[in-house]
Structure 1
Amino acid sequence: MSEANKVPVLVTGGAGYIGSHAVLALRDAGWPVTVIDNLSTGFAFAVPEDVPLYRGDIADADLLERIFAEHGIRAIMHFAGSVVVPESVENPLHYYDNNTGKSRALIAAAVRGGVEHFIFSSTAATYGTPDRSPVSEGDPQQPINPYGWSKLMTEQMLADASAAHGFNYCALRYFNVAGADPRARTGQSTAGATHLIKVACEAATGKRDSVAVFGTDYETPDGTGVRDYIHVSDLANAHLLALEALIERPDRSLTMNCGYGTGFSVLEVLDAVDRVTNQTIVRRLEPRRAGDPGELVSDPSRIRETLPWQPKYADLDQIIAHALQWERRLSELQEK
């Protein structure tokens, strides 16, 4: 895309895991980018020094108005939110507030501020337990946990607000995001993370003594849950391409799965970590967690047909290697 068409972008949650990778991708490609993050789970060190960072809440209308005015914001990439499925089951009202209520406030501010393009970090959890696998965008959305519902409600708000107010949007439904920036500039840094590859890398580097395997009685080949793992840098690139598509065609909005279309079980992932590290992680077999479907694999046909998206890191061992590289780098940062 020409430099003239690269509009100023506000990234919410840009100090967090996925958001920080999107910030790097935007900055590397020459987009004007600004970050808002309350740093509840994000880290200021994840934002490059030359990218403006506002510490604040996405429901703060006055702050958003100031950011829009100071930076001429015309597009939003919205990553801010809570993402832990079991926690959403235990504390649903927090998820409906933080994910849905605050997204409504952000959308309202965007409408008032004349924002033209909105990219939303949605999730495969909106599908619940699909009737078939792989799952495509037209399949029923029947969430089985408050996290999925909180995201689905935001998708609906975007559709309705877009129709009423004339901006266009893209909802990207992530499958299981993993890995880290190949140059180890950022990665998943949150303490107590629940993502399998992150947890396994912590175990491989001595930060945990074992990895829990939640559920061994699913109707899958080895009884453990099957997921579609996508490298976070490939996902960040999909956001840039989606933004370009929104700018090029302001008359349309998009909803697309973000995955590779290949599923790996929990045990297969742990075997891969053992293979990459040449060591054996201790595994603890635990009962299923509430709100977890047995299998969730994407049909990525739509994104491949709609965007010129060519994943660079669609290899499980490479995803794990990058995650491990970041885990070691994170240890160095924490020691300083």
Structure 2
Amino acid sequence: MNILVTGGAGYIGSHTVRALIAGEHRVIVLDNLSRGHTAAARGALLVRGDTSDTGLLAELFKKHKIEAVMHFAASSQVGESVREPSGYYHNNVVKGLALLDAMVQAGVPYLVFSSTAAVYGEPEEVPISEEHPTLPTNPYGATKLALESAMRWYGDAYGLRFTSLRYFNAAGADPAGDIGEDHTPETHLIPLVLQVALGNRPHLEVFGSDYPTPDGTCVRDYIHVNDLAAAHVLALDKMASGARSNIYNLGNGSGYSVLEVIKAAEEVTAKPVKVKYGARRPGDPAVLVAGSQKIRDELGWEPCFAGLHTIVDTAWRWHLGHPAGYEERNER
């Protein structure tokens, strides 16, 4: 298929681009490179642009005979979303609607959407299933949920078929070691821990030590980025074979605290990680663990990188080879 991947030069998008190319799909990446990296999108045609540019979208859909879209382009930092909700509603909702409109106008029938466990808010039960109430505690989760709602109505009115994948904590890197996680600023736990192990940071700040968890730190479900990528390909293949629109959680079903992640990183790297404790971060639930049985049953998805040490090890290999991230950082 001919597939447009928005945000395909970013972390999860680039790994999914690689999976699509391996599956012999033709991939066109649309990325404004505000947070993506040209080197991450190697193997695909990279177009620098924004999903708000409806003229560009129409041109790409027509020129490349696009048959499906995978939508990763979004703002995705919880704390930032609390401080700057306007930007999150603009980037994630307004621009998302522009993409949906362009797809409808061009007759592009399939959308795989990068969503988040943040749509659930504070869990009422763990693991969290897709039937759990959606009560986000931060604008990031609220904006993702808003676009999910729009996709459902667009499906009813215009026939758009979508799969929304609600990730828990994406982590790790392709075992080849040439693409990985590089954000500016970095806010994700595993790369922050590994930057301390590399000596690039003096210490790790742990946000909160008084959560109602066994060691007082947040508990999260970490899923390898390649397992996320595989789920995107499965979801697209299923829709192309006639499946209806659907929503799936993606996680390993195991929760690890911040301190457990630090310990695993120290064991993988054989280096100490200095920690300092700070206040809780606004909008952070205490525990988020996925119930992913639905996608296992319906799409046959199974994680290949299930263990925390395995996930950390792949990330460590990326960071060892790219201690300053992608080389073209200053060329954007």
TM tier relative to shorter chain: over 0.9
Aligned residue among 142, 155, 162 for 1:169: 162
Aligned position for 1:40:
34
CA distance in 2, matches of 1:198, 1:277: 12
Shift of 1:335: 6.4
**Pair 1:40–1:335, CA change in 2 (3 A):** closer
Q: Specify the SS of the correspondent of 1:67.
A: helix
Aligned position for 2:269:
277
**Pair 1:152–1:333, CA change in 2 (3 A):** closer
The AA in structure 2 aligned to 1:118 is: L
Shift of 1:334: 5.3
Mapped pair 1:266 → 2:258: yes
The AA in structure 1 aligned to 2:219 is: V
Shift of 1:329: 2.0
Aligned position for 1:128:
121
CA distance in 1, matches of 2:158, 2:145: 20
Aligned position for 1:313:
305
CA distance in 1, matches of 2:71, 2:236: 12
Shift of 1:206: 1.3
User: Structure 1, residues 258-291: CA drift from partner, whole Å, max 9, x if none?
Assistant: 0011000000000000111112100011110000
Q: Is the 8 A contact 2:319 2:325 kept in 1?
A: no
The AA in structure 1 aligned to 2:273 is: I
The runs of at least 4 aligned residues of structure 1 exceeding 6 Å deviation read: none
Q: Specify the SS of the correspondent of 2:99.
A: helix
Q: Specify the SS of the correspondent of 1:180.
A: coil
The AA in structure 2 aligned to 1:304 is: R
Q: Specify the SS of the correspondent of 2:205.
A: strand
The AA in structure 2 aligned to 1:25 is: A
Mapped pair 1:31 → 2:30: no
Structure 2 length normalisation: TM-score?
0.97
* 5+ long unaligned stretches in structure 2: none
Of residues 123-132 and 50-59 in structure 1, the stretch that sits farther from structure 2 once superposed is 50-59
Q: Specify the SS of the correspondent of 1:135.
A: coil
Shift of 1:189: 1.3
Q: Specify the SS of the correspondent of 1:198.
A: helix
Q: Specify the SS of the correspondent of 1:118.
A: strand
Q: Is the 8 A contact 1:189 1:330 kept in 2?
A: no
User: Structure 1, residues 207-236: CA drift from partner, whole Å, max 9, x if none?
Assistant: 111111111111111110000000000100
Aligned position for 1:154:
147
CA distance in 2, matches of 1:322, 1:23: 18
1:10-29 mapped onto 2 (5 Å cutoff): 10-29=4-23
Q: Specify the SS of the correspondent of 1:147.
A: helix
Shift of 1:185: 2.5
CA distance in 2, matches of 1:330, 1:28: 24
Mapped pair 1:63 → 2:53: no
**Pair 1:332–1:41, CA change in 2 (3 A):** closer
Instruction: Give the aligned CA root-mean-square deviation in angstroms.
Output: 1.1
CA distance in 2, matches of 1:332, 1:259: 28
Mapped pair 1:211 → 2:204: yes
**Pair 1:294–1:332, CA change in 2 (3 A):** closer
